């Protein structure tokens, strides 16, 4: 595990570095508080720190305050080394954000034990963050396909429309429906139907850009939100999506099954904040209906919506 050691005394710094390296730590050393705060505040920086209290410029408590003032989720466990022993000084250090402290000169065995405690705290914090992220994912994603669920994709659409209004940029959406999906379920069974839904989801994600959003809108319907995509670009993008679905049959437990999509497409060039997303979804749904009526496996385009 990486650990940062901050001390303006070069002899103490080298002794501490050597001892910690022998204990299996990857040691990063700095000789001033400003650099310590900078390294610890960077994304992906060390999450364990041993900081001398007395340093010129920014002292140990100042480093703690600077690190605690950042706004990300990665917790840094900081231990202060100090010759101060009064309860007032200890309280000052802990209130600044330090997790623990040791008085100089410290015993190597005690230092290792305190750092081991810090590692346990960080491991617990990581488990809590992982559990939180899993709960957040389950709350916003469809269990079968792992795509955004209906509520989440609509929330993303609203957010994208708000950004569109602020930046005067377009938003395009594709409402997609798997052709003859009921027949797939009736002929091959619902487990194969689930396989088809999962493969459609995977291909849709492969077909879009990293900043586009794909959600399961309901049943065999999918909604794709493409920020910054104008009407002329939408036609090319929609055909790419359609072709990635029907280019190869789907491999399932019951063999190869040809699958295609019908799609309704719409571009929103501007919008009024008083409007809801439903009118745009209605336009896309009407276009989808026309695509089905036209023989399926095709894209029908609504007229560009401009609301000023």
Q: Which residues are catalytic?
A: 220
- Token representation of residue 270: 């501007």
Helix, strand, coil percentages (3-state) for the chain, rounded to 5, are 50, 20, 30
Residue 25 host element (H or E)? none
8 A C-beta contact, residue 303 and residue 268: no
Cα–Cα nearest to 173, from 119, 124, 237 = 237
What's phi and psi for 3, nearest 5 deg?
-140, 140
Calpha distance 35→40 (Å, rounded): 9
8 A C-beta contact, residue 299 and residue 239: yes
Question: CB neighbours (10 Å) of residue 45?
Answer: 16
Distance of CA 16 to the CA centre of its chain: 37
Calpha distance 224→211 (Å, rounded): 11
- Token representation of residue 300: 């029908």
Calpha distance 203→146 (Å, rounded): 13
Cα–Cα nearest to 49, from 66, 59, 31, 64 = 64
SS3 220: coil
């Amino acid at each position: 595990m990486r650990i940062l050691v901050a001390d303006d005394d070069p002899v103490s710094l080298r002794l501490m570095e050597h001892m910690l390296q022998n204990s299996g730590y990857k040691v990063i050393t700095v000789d001033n508080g400003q650099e310590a705060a900078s390294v610890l505040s960077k994304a992906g920086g060390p999450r364990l720190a041993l900081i001398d209290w007395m340093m010129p410029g920014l002292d140990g408590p100042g480093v703690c305050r600077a690190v605690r003032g950042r706004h990300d989720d990665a917790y840094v466990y900081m231990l202060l080394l100090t010759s101060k022993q009064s309860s007032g000084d200890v309280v000052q250090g802990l209130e600044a954000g330090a997790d623990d402290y040791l008085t100089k000169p410290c015993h190597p065995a005690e230092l290792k034990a305190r750092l081991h405690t810090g590692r346990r705290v960080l491991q617990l914090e990581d488990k809590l963050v992982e559990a939180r992220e899993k709960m957040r994912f389950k709350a916003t994603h469809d269990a079968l396909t792992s795509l955004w669920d209906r509520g989440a994709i609509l929330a993303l659409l609203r957010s994208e429309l708000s950004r569109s209004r602020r930046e005067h940029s377009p938003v395009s959406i594709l409402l997609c429906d798997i052709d003859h999906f009921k027949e797939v379920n009736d002929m091959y069974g619902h487990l194969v139907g689930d396989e088809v839904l999962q493969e459609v989801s995977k291909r849709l994600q492969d077909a879009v850009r990293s900043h586009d959003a794909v959600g399961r809108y309901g049943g065999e319907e999918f909604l794709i939100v493409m920020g910054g995509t104008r009407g002329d670009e939408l036609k090319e993008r929609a055909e790419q999506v359609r072709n990635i679905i029907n280019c190869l049959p789907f491999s399932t437990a019951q063999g190869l099954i040809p699958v295609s999509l019908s799609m309704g497409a719409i571009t929103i060039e501007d919008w009024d904040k008083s409007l809801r997303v439903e009118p745009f979804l209605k336009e896309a749904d009407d276009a989808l209906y026309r695509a089905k009526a036209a023989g399926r496996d095709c894209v029908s385009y609504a007229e560009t919506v401009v609301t000023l």
